[in-house]
Structure 1
Amino acid sequence: MAKDFSTMEASNGSDNTDIHSVSPTARRQLLRGGLASAVAGLLSPLAVQGGALTALLSGCASTGVRAPLLGFKSVALGEVDAVRVPEGYLTQVIAPWGDPIGVAGAQPAFKPDASNSAADQAVQMGMHHDGMAYFPLDGSRRGLLCMNHEYADHGLLFSDGGKDWTPEKVAKSQAAHGFSVIEIEQNAESQWAVVRPSRFARRVTANTPCQVNGPAAGHPLMRTAHDPSGRRVLGTLSNCAASRTPWGSFLSGEENFIGYFRGPNRPNAHEQRWGLRAGEQWGYRWVEHDERFDAAAHPNEPHRFGWIVELDPSDPQAAPVKRTAMGRAAHEGATVALCKDGRAVVYSGEDARFEYIYKFVSRDAMQPGGPKANAELLDHGTLYVARFDADGRGRWLPLVHGQGPLTAANGFADQGEVLIKTRQASDLLGATKMDRPEWIAVDPQGHVYCTLTNNSQRGAPGRPGVDAANPRANNVGGHIIRWKEEGDFHAERFSWSHFVLAGDPQAERTEARGQMKGDAFACPDGLFADARGVLWIQTDMSSADMGPGVEFLKKDPSAGALGPKELVKLGNNMMLAADPGTGEVRRFLVGPVGAEITGCDITPDGRTMFVNIQHPGETPGDLSDPAHPMAFSSWPSPAGGRPRSATVVIRKQDGGLIGT
């Protein structure tokens, strides 16, 4: 099923009181000021860097001279069905959808006509690669790559384009979701390959048993006929952004989970707030052969999704764990920072119109010993939601039962119910409704960034108007917001500003006009901060006709009719590098036709980058129809072949640091 952003969930009808008038100060688009001397206070997830990278950073710190962060020539815009990177860089494709992951004795090859079975798919790379993280086994030459598979395009997944749903088709679609854990290794010629077989190879799918931990575990609202205990959920799905924790686990957000459920004929207020529609779902027909996705028959089943899931990739037998203390939402992902006292702080955004940004602060400090020593670290702590004020400051509002309006009288019997109904609790606290907050990154200096992809409903009739943090009506270009905690990461106050308003600086329409220093881009989505302080920005501009090129401002019922001069083409989706100190943005990668650029990580030595290419040539519809437009991408397959999401490995020809 293709994403249709014009019909995405927009279920926040709350009447929050913190919509502020826009002040000139709050409208500043680019943060001023630079990175202080190089690398003091590197976050633990980044402190594993070694070799030449450590030497470079140490030299900067000792001399006080800030080396230029961006040393490559920008890639030109374009609509070529290929991955293009700067001069002096090399690319390699590994682990495309359908390739075997390396489970011993079960390595079925991908069939170009997509006739692989559900059993095959369960041990092959899942569909639509998304967030990922690299876990070193032997430094920067061998490690585990753990990645999400966000959703399934049934026109590509099935040889008949998805006609006549059967139990086998449902099983195959479910097996294409979840995570993959693969072992990868660099050979003497610097080429990377998937290790097969590998004792670490693993798929987690929409049918893998998952453990439920934290305050909502066992809650009456989590219990179902399939699981009377409320502590064991089958599967994880719609997994989007991801991160590596300082203790060595993988965190993944369950995002657009609600679209998998068929709503009851008359959804109640709680179900409507979470986007359940009467008798509808978003094209996933699992309910026809898997009754648990019928919310009328099993009203608590949707409560068991929308969590942040933690996985220990080093232990193939460890169950994925849904960490309920961090709240239920359309989580794009989760990014971890460490306080000076060792407590974990997890930032997450909720990718839906007018939803919120959250922060979780653990009660306890991280312990040495890896994931097993920290098996309960994310089960105890305090969840907060962000309020951005017009004076450039903000406050984290605690989502704690019994505090303020979060009482039984307002529909919250206990802390478990506050967390299951995180959206309603945030509504009552007056949190700031954001323009689809997606990925979050923390740079080495402790600045926190969040991409706000777009929101064409901002300022539409009956919808919230502009505010200080979201300053554009019909926000088709999106923006990136940046803040710094006023103290350590656990602080309850912060200072914020806009890092950039995205779009084309030459656009005629104000809402599409970008304000940036350097290369134009729109609809920021993926975000990654490397150890040098470079901010890597990935875009997800939607195409109006699914053909070559991307129009990020398209016809939308809430935006009104658009004339031909008001459509802006920026070519295929891209990844850019930004220098937070100067605000400069340079285009580093341009992807294939129809693809989203998503997921990013770099090996500890800084010399190899991994980037995911999702849904190249996305083709909703029936591929068995001769008239179906299959031709606009076959990446990375041979010409005319079935397009496949895959991971791109990027290195410099001279073996240097990525981005220099």
Structure 2
Amino acid sequence: MPDDLRHLPYDLEAGDEIPSNTSPNPSFAEIAEARLGRRGMLMGGLATAIAGFIGAETRPAAAQGAAQGAAPAASGPAIGFKAVPISPNDTVVVPEGYSVQVLIPQGTPLSGEPAGKSLGAMTAAEQGAAVGAHHDGMHFFPIEGREPDQGSSTDGFLVVNHEYIEPRFMHARAVGMSVGNGRMPLTGGARDPEEVRKEINAHGVSIVRIAKGADGQWAVKADPRSRRVTAATPMEISGPVRGHALVRTKYSPDGTRVRGTVNNCAHGVTPWNTYMTAEENWAGYFRNLDQQDQKPNLPREHARYGVPTGQTRYNWDQVQGGGDEFERFNVSSTGADATQDYRNEVNAFGWLVEIDPFNPNAMPVKRTALGRFAHEGIVFGPAREGRPVVAYSGDDSTFEYIYKFVSARPFARATANGSLLDEGVLYVAKFNADGTGEWLPLQHGVGPLTAANGFADQGEVLVNTRLAADAVGATKMDRPEWGAVDPRDGRVYFTLTNNSRRTEAQRDAANPRAQNQFGQIIRWREANDDHAATRFTWDLFLIAGPEGNSRIAGNAPVNADNMLACPDGLWFDADGRMWIQTDIGESEQLRGALAPFGNNAMLCANPVTGETRRFLTGPNGQEVTGVITTPDRRTMFVNLQHPGATTSAADWAAGRPNSRFPNGEGAPLSATLVITKNDGGIIGT
């Protein structure tokens, strides 16, 4: 947690945004109360209260006159493993009959050569040629490079996001130093440039070729296409914001390029087989020191996103000797105009970035038509010839929104490429108390989004996506995180991790808890099963929490085998099993009301019946995040992020990190797990 946020009257995890939505828009909790009535919300406990809207629409598609596809089987996909128990231990646990291999921990060379140094001894350049920090969303691309989920199951590129860093685990001088999981202290009032370059190079994305050997073990395989995309990699700006006055800087006076991507959380895979990485909590990497009358004076495109007015997350702008590569993180107005300083640098962050894993010569592209906010990830609806491309994304901050993009041009498999994401309509969700919903367009000239209301053009609408969503009346949600589309019936699911700052007066149907510590999963079906539709019906699949204060659709039992808190990662396998990953915050793990849930975990659910079982528990201090299988579904990759992050500053100084994952010694490292079934079968069966 950044030092300058400790005075705030609420808890923030490391890197979380300062809540900035002051709009009068209704919250999901208020909608719940309107649907059920206050008496219904308060009497009989949560199980009674939510009976009116959880699992309210569980009929298969055919029963609702679905326009496309067959109805799924009534029983849904089978879950064939015995649940693992809740665990508070510093280890990985998977079901009986499964095995785990650790792959590509931070610092693994992309060359396939053995790591020659400890992470702390690596130079900035060496980190830039090795796997980055804090693994998050990822995808396995079969080596043939034709389809996102077809091809080899033994050879391919694993593309991995790196959300943020823990500097004390990266720098040799941090050994024995009393420092928490925030930034390194300044030395003589400044940061060391080599340390900062190393941190910059640990951010971004790793594209690394991996292959399965004859012994069944996976390893890095040398390939000239393996590479790093970092917080310093040149990138194109495309879409309506390209060239806009709000993204012109000293580096790019014409507003067409920017350096780097940061805080890469979840991801998406396009129908044309490229990778989308999401920029989530990016605002804290910058700071604006502009003042008027001795008070902060930030433009709305900074203020609405929580750009700090004090210290930044890692103080990258305060490097000894300075230089353009570091000064860009100071977004104050210091020059005669925007092309003489970096006041607009931060406006080139908060986007979804497209990367072609198979073409190292293709510059990453920030697709601005998809909106600027704290993107958790992006999930695409089924791509159909002659129909628009549709994609969903959540804004992972308290009281923020869920969005949908619908392309202007139809999908044609033979010619499809990223330009389809440059033209279209961005919508934001409004959830009604009666279980219906609508998608509100964020288009210049439509409704309140006019020049008279401060939106001069579509570029301004998109740079200020949150303000545009405020203006049209979107529903405030409990931290929208990962989304997933059920391959069986097309229903869309989103995790809402938690929101302890929601008050009794702010409860609604989709966010029914005040002081929501445990979270929920919402789902909806688009009208006529058309993902491009502007209306939908919704219900809740899961209200997370303890056995007596939670509920799963289909009246599935909540017990020690499946109770969970803070759902975050979400993914459907090809059989329709839904994999749910948890992210209990570092300040809450094994404490208070969250203590009974143990370490973060991954569960598997049948979306038809609600049957849910715990599949994996991880080591101390980590978050389980990112999951994908090979096309044959016989190898699963899962990421463990920031193990040991709950180690106190005092314990770190004394050489007592509370996790030694994955090596059993030294500093803990984020890494990827390779999970296989001992009989060679399909994962989950």
User: Which category describes the TM-score, using the shorter chain as reference length?
Assistant: 0.7 to 0.9
Match of 1:385 among 414, 420, 428: 428
**1:8 CA drift (Å):** 3.7
Match of 1:350 among 391, 395, 401: 395
Give the Cα separation in 1 of the matches to 2:115 and 2:66.
Answer: 46
Q: Deviations over 1:457-505 (max 9, x none)?
A: 1017xxx711121111111101100001012100000000011111112
Q: CA deviation at 1:429?
A: 0.3
Q: Does the alignment pair 1:159 with 2:172?
A: yes
Aligned twin of 2:328: 292
Pairwise CA distance, 1:648: 0.4
CA contact (8 A) 1:179 1:205 kept: yes
Q: 2:542 aligns with which of 482, 500, 514?
A: 500
Amino acid in the other structure paired with 1:276:
V
For the structure 1 residues 13 and 577, does the alpha-carbon distance in structure 2 shift closer, same or farther, using more than 3 Å as the test? Answer: same
CA distance in 2, matches of 1:336, 1:567: 33
The aligned runs of 1:423-502 (5 Å cut-off) are 423-444=466-487, 445-459=489-503, 465-487=506-528, 488-502=530-544
d(CA) in 1 for partners of 2:678 and 2:273?
A: 30
The residue that corresponds to 2:13 in the other structure is 5
Match of 1:559 in 2: none
Distance in 2, matches of 1:182 and 1:76, equals 33
Secondary structure in 1 matching 2:373 = coil
Q: Aligned partner of 2:217: which letter?
A: Q
Match of residue 52 from structure 1: none
Indicate the residue corresponding to 2:268 in structure 1.
243
Change (3 A) 1:376 1:615: same
8 Å CA contact 2:283–2:308 kept in 1: the answer is no
Among 612, 626, 630, the residue aligned to 1:603: 630
Match of 2:365 among 311, 316, 321: 321
Post-superposition offset of 1:113? 5.6
Pick the aligned partner of 1:191 from 217, 222, 228: 217
Q: Does 1:15 align with 2:24?
A: yes
Q: How does 1:60-459 map to 2 (within 5 A)?
A: 66=75, 68-102=77-111, 109=115, 111-112=117-118, 114-137=120-143, 138-161=151-174, 162-163=184-185, 164=187, 165-195=191-221, 197-264=222-289, 265=291, 266-268=296-298, 270=300, 271-288=302-319, 289=322, 290-297=326-333, 298-338=342-382, 340=384, 341-369=386-414, 373-444=416-487, 445-459=489-503
In the superposition, relative to structure 1, how do residues 109 and 98 fare at CA in structure 2: closer, same or farther (>3 Å)?
A: same
> Could you list the runs of 5+ residues in structure 1 that have no partner in the other structure?
45-57, 509-513, 555-565
The Cα of 1:81 is off from its aligned counterpart by 1.2
Q: Which residue of 2 aligns with 1:50?
A: none
Amino acid at match of 1:452: L
In 2: Cα distance, 1:244 partner to 1:187 partner: 26
CA contact (8 A) 1:108 1:120 kept: no
Q: Within 2, Cα distance between the matches of 1:530 and 1:415?
A: 37
Q: Secondary structure at the match of 1:319?
A: coil
- Contact 2:425 2:441 (C-alpha < 8 Å) held by counterparts: yes
**What is the deviation of 1:189?**
2.6
Query: Deviation digits for residues 12-59 of structure 1, max 9, x if unmatched?
Result: 001125743342378533355365699x99999xxxxxxxxxxxxx9x
1:534-613 alignment runs, 5 A limit: 534-544=577-587, 550-551=590-591, 566=593, 568-613=595-640
> Aligned to 1:569, what secondary structure does the other structure show?
helix
Q: Give how far 1:5 is off.
A: 2.5
The structural deviation recorded for 1:268 is 2.9
Structure 2 residue ranges without an equivalent (≥5): 3-10, 37-49, 144-150, 175-183, 334-341, 551-555
Q: Assess if the C-alpha contact under 8 Å between 2:584 and 2:594 holds in 1.
A: no
| Aligned mates of 2:297, 2:304 — CA distance in 1 | 9
The two structures have a TM-score, normalised by structure 1, of 0.87
Q: What is the one-letter code of the residue matched to 1:244?
A: V
CA shift at 1:252, angstroms?
Answer: 1.2
Counterpart amino acid of residue 159 in structure 1: A
Distance 1:633 1:504, change over 3 A: same
Question: How many aligned positions are there?
Answer: 611
Q: How far did 1:369 drift?
A: 4.6
Paired amino acid for 1:191: Q
CA distance 1:618–1:220, change in 2 (3 Å): same
CA deviation after TM superposition for structure 1 residue 628, in Å: 5.3
Name the CA distance, whole Å, in 2 between partners of 1:30 and 1:269: 43
The match for 2:569 is 526
Displacement, 1:249? Answer: 0.5
Q: Distance in 1 between matches of 2:451 and 2:116?
A: 53
Q: Contact conserved, 1:542 with 1:550, CA < 8 A, in 2?
A: no
Residue 293 of structure 1 aligns to which amino acid in structure 2?
A: F
Separation in 2, partners of 1:149, 1:188: 30
Asked if 2 retains the 8 angstrom alpha-carbon contact of 1:254 and 1:307, the reply is yes
Q: Percent identical across equivalent pairs?
A: 47
Q: Distance in 2 between matches of 1:320 and 1:629?
A: 40
**Any idea what the Cα deviations from partners look like across 1:492-551, whole Å, max 9, x if unmatched?**
00000011111112469xxxxx98476110000101011111110000002437xxx633
Mark the CA change 1:499 to 1:430 in structure 2 (over 3 Å): closer, same or farther.
Answer: same
2-structure distance, mates of 1:23, 1:41: 26
Q: What are the Cα deviations for residues 277-329 of structure 1, in whole angstroms up to 9, with x where unaligned?
A: 32232344444341111121422111000001111101011111000000100
Native 8 Å contact 2:13 2:586 kept in 1 = no
- 3-state DSSP class of the match of 1:338? coil
**Which deviates more, 411-420 or 23-32?**
23-32
- 1:262 deviates by 1.5
Q: How far has the Cα of 1:190 moved from its partner?
A: 2.2
How far does the alpha carbon of each residue in 1:539-578 deviate from its partner, in whole angstroms, 9 at most, with x for none?
A: 0002437xxx633xx5xxxxxxxxxxx5642111000001
In structure 2, what is the Cα distance between the partners aligned to 1:418 and 1:585? 41
Distance 1:621 1:124, change over 3 A: farther
Deviation at 1:10, TM superposition (A): 0.7
Contact 2:136–2:625, Cα closer than 8 Å, also in 1: yes
Seen in structure 2, the aligned counterparts of structure 1 residues 500 and 358 have a Cα distance that, compared at 3 Å, is same
Distance 1:623 1:129, change over 3 A: farther
Matched-pair contact (CA < 8 Å) for 1:612–1:647: yes
- Following superposition, the deviation at residue 637 of structure 1 comes to 1.1
Secondary structure of the corresponding residue to residue 241 of structure 2 = coil
> Cα deviations across residues 119-157 of structure 1 (Å, max 9, x unaligned)?
000000000000001111152111111110000101111
Alpha-carbon spacing, 1:43–1:273, altered in 2? closer, same or farther (3 Å):
farther
Moved more, 439-448 or 1-10: 1-10
Q: Is the 8 A contact 2:76 2:576 kept in 1?
A: no
Q: Which amino acid aligns with 2:115?
A: A
